[in-house]
């Protein structure tokens, strides 16, 4: 069975997200409590859900729960999928004007008919805790202080937690989305890594990836990145988070895994990353999925909301 084989032959270590995320969450919690005591104010985050996509609902509930656990003010604003452009703009402008709100997060993807870039551009950049407003992306390019995207920040924290230094390292990122691949490429360039960004038109993807000291997969293709993509001893970060309902796909990657098969029976899907778990036999570190990057994304959202709160008050 593939899973048993993986356990026996393991060379690398699983890079779990929870311990790294817990450290960040604890720091945020302590600082929020201090602000509550001295200012009688806490950072506030509003998640905007347009429509009723179940995955988006569950992501936002996790974020709301994280806020409550760390002492932040967290709220979800639910809007109809067919809300007009003018009404949606007015709602976001209302949040921009609300002083209790330090962070505004529009959960993506938006339902059909809404122009994502248009909607993001309405958010006050000082409250753009997802770090995807054009102003924040521009500041990131200039390597100046800004609110920057949570998932790439989480990837950096994970890489650094292994003791890996980015300076001078060859880093390959598979995926060039605005929320993951592109901002991560800028962040790593700002830290003096040498970055190659790959995408669906890249030729010899496995050959390029196999030259990386650090490989990041953010493509949304379950188990796509196999051992042939990985240099011996590389640090591999699996951003992918794919709901897979086909047991044959799961068996090919994990062998017979009763826990995952039960999840498919109960929920209809199991979460699978972009990286084949057998990569652990070549990598020095590999993040599991789920349980790797995901916890860091939420912890970084909390940190960004706290940062926004402080900047808006000149602290
Ligand atoms: P996205 O917007 O769909 O972008 C996917 C990227 O992968 C695109 O740049 C695409 O290339 C590239 N790609 C797709 N198939 C490829 C192939 N066969 N070969 C090479 N490149 C390929 O996705 P995303 O929003 O960045 O998310 C990527 C994954 O990360 C998803 O599984 C998502 O669920 C997950 N994610 C996880 C978290 C977390 O917190 N754990 C956060 C965000 C995203 P083109 O540009 O050429 O189309």
pLDDT tens per residue across span 127-166: 999 999 999 999 999 999 999 999 999 999 999 999 999 9
Does one domain contain both 118 and 176?
no
Give the C-alpha distances (Å, rounded to integers) separating 105 from 46, 49, 179. Answer: 6, 9, 13
pLDDT, position 10: 55
* Residue 11 reports pLDDT greater than 90: no
Does one domain contain both 158 and 287?
yes
* Residue 310 reports pLDDT greater than 80: yes
Domain end (from 124, 139, 166): 124
The answer to whether position 24 is within a domain reads no
Contact indicator for 138, 211 with CB cutoff of 8 Å: no
pLDDT digits (tens, 9 = 90+) for 182-213: 999 999 999 999 999 999 999 999 999 999 99
Collapsing DSSP to helix, strand or coil, 64 comes out as: helix
The answer to whether position 17 is within a domain reads no
- For helices 134-141 and 181-190, the axis angle rounded to 10 degrees is 30
**Euclidean distance between CA atoms 79 and 76, whole angstroms:** 10
Domain that holds residue 234: 149-294
* Residue 6 reports pLDDT greater than 50: no
Report the residue among 148, 172, 177 best suited for mutation to probe ligand 1: largest number of ligand atoms under 8 A from its CB: 177
Q: Provide CB contacts within 8 A for 265, sequence distance 6+.
A: none
pLDDT, position 8: 41
**Euclidean distance between CA atoms 278 and 268, whole angstroms:** 25
Q: What is the DSSP string of 265-312?
A: HHHS-EEE-SB-GGGGGT-SEE--TTTSHHHHHHHHHHHHHHHHHHHH
34: annotated active-site residue: no
Does one domain contain both 43 and 113?
yes
Residues with CB under 6 A from ligand 1: 151, 174-177, 179-181, 198-202, 205, 218-221, 239-242, 293-294, 297
The answer to whether position 47 is within a domain reads yes
The answer to whether position 68 is within a domain reads yes
Strand pairing category for 13-14 and 103-106: unpaired
Does one domain contain both 164 and 277?
yes
Contact indicator for 104, 75 with CB cutoff of 8 Å: no
Does one domain contain both 158 and 273?
yes
pLDDT digits (tens, 9 = 90+) for 231-271: 999 999 999 999 999 999 999 999 999 999 999 999 999 99
Does one domain contain both 165 and 68?
no
pTM of the model: 0.94
Does one domain contain both 168 and 252?
yes
Domain end (from 57, 91, 124): 124
The answer to whether position 13 is within a domain reads no
Domain end (from 107, 124, 141): 124
pLDDT digits (tens, 9 = 90+) for 96-133: 999 999 999 999 999 999 999 999 999 999 999 999 99
The answer to whether position 19 is within a domain reads no
Does one domain contain both 174 and 272?
yes
CATH of the domain at 92: 3.40.50.10860
Q: What are the φ/ψ torsions at residue 109 (nearest 5 degrees)?
A: -75, 150
Report the residue among 105, 206, 218 best suited for mutation to probe ligand 1: largest number of ligand atoms under 8 A from its CB: 218
Does one domain contain both 260 and 170?
yes
When divided into structural domains, the chain yields a total of 2
Mean of all residue pLDDT scores within the chain: 95
The secondary structure element, H or E, covering residue 79 is strand 73-79
The answer to whether position 235 is within a domain reads yes
The answer to whether position 131 is within a domain reads no
pLDDT, position 167: 98
């Amino acid at each position: 069975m593939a899973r048993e084989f993986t356990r026996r032959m393991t060379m690398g270590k699983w890079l779990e997200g929870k311990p790294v995320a817990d450290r960040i969450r604890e720091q945020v919690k302590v600082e929020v409590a201090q602000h509550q005591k001295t200012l009688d104010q806490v950072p506030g985050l509003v998640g905007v859900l347009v429509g009723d996509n179940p995955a988006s609902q569950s992501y936002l509930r996790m974020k709301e729960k994280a806020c409550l656990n760390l002492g932040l003010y967290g709220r979800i604003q639910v809007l109809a999928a067919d809300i007009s452009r003018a009404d949606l703009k007015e709602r976001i402008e209302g949040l921009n004007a609300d002083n209790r709100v330090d962070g505004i997060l529009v959960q993506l993807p938006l339902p059909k008919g809404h122009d994502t870039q248009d909607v993001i551009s309405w958010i006050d950049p000082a409250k753009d805790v997802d770090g995807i407003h054009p102003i924040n992306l521009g500041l990131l390019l200039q390597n100046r202080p800004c609110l920057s995207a949570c998932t790439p920040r989480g990837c950096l924290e994970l890489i650094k937690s292994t003791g890996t230094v980015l300076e001078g390292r060859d880093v390959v990122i598979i995926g060039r989305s605005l929320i993951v691949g592109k901002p991560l490429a800028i962040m790593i360039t700002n830290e003096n890594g040498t970055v190659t960004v790959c995408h669906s038109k890249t030729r010899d993807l496995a050959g390029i990836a196999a030259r990386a000291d650090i490989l990041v997969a953010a493509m949304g293709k379950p188990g796509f990145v196999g051992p042939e993509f990985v240099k011996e001893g590389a640090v591999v970060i699996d951003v992918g988070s794919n709901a897979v309902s086909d047991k044959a796909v799961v068996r090919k990657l994990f062998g017979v895994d009763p826990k995952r098969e039960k999840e498919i029976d109960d929920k209809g899907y199991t979460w699978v990353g972009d990286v084949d778990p057998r990569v652990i036999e070549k990598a020095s570190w590999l993040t599991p999925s789920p349980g790797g990057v995901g916890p860091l994304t939420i912890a970084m959202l909390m940190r960004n909301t706290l940062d926004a709160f402080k900047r808006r008050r000149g602290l």
